[in-house]
Structure 1
């Protein structure tokens, strides 16, 4: 059994008031970090951004708006389909604003990816390893 889940999907990126254009999103899940989903966005072989997202926040974003910080997720209807709208706020710009991008992914595809992660680690059964973490912190590692 493969202990990781990986899915590459075509999503649409909208940045700086531009029209949407297709990019790849490489979604991955590692049970060693059971609460996180990693999303790497690329275009023409170049990585545009890498974000670590909370797995349950992504699931919640398929049902309703979530997030008040740098990441905001919400469902949207587009034609006959449903999308997950992912809004990302990045580093400050020289003009005082912040870099801003919106990514749209088909909700069904994201839901299928999350289902695969849940087959590996069911919600509520995540092993946090807090004792090992605290021991490392207290030992100065």
Structure 2
């Protein structure tokens, strides 16, 4: 009996917290979306689209490199040859990904600076992206508030 009432009380508290939180949030007032804010948000979307284009380009390049590596590794006779091929492939793909990270990081910093100047609160958000046989974390911009 005690367990049932304890569960009921805990459930009631959880429901009150969930429903109460949205009621408190409804009371907050956000600024209106002015043409300047709309233009800044459009600029942020453009930066994110440019980042996506850069990601796609590197994904295509890494797929080509991986296919070439697999083809060469299939014809290699010795393990040492396969290791050399993989080492070379690994170095090239890592260089592509590191260059992409540096490029997108600069794009994100510039976009966030421009957004901050327009009065928009943003933050970078790491997104997992697949490149041939590996993954990397890339950071596009997310709008928090204005």
| TM-score normalized by the length of structure 2 | 0.22
**Rg comparison, structure with higher value:** 2
Q: Answer 1 or 2: which has greater strand percent.
A: 1
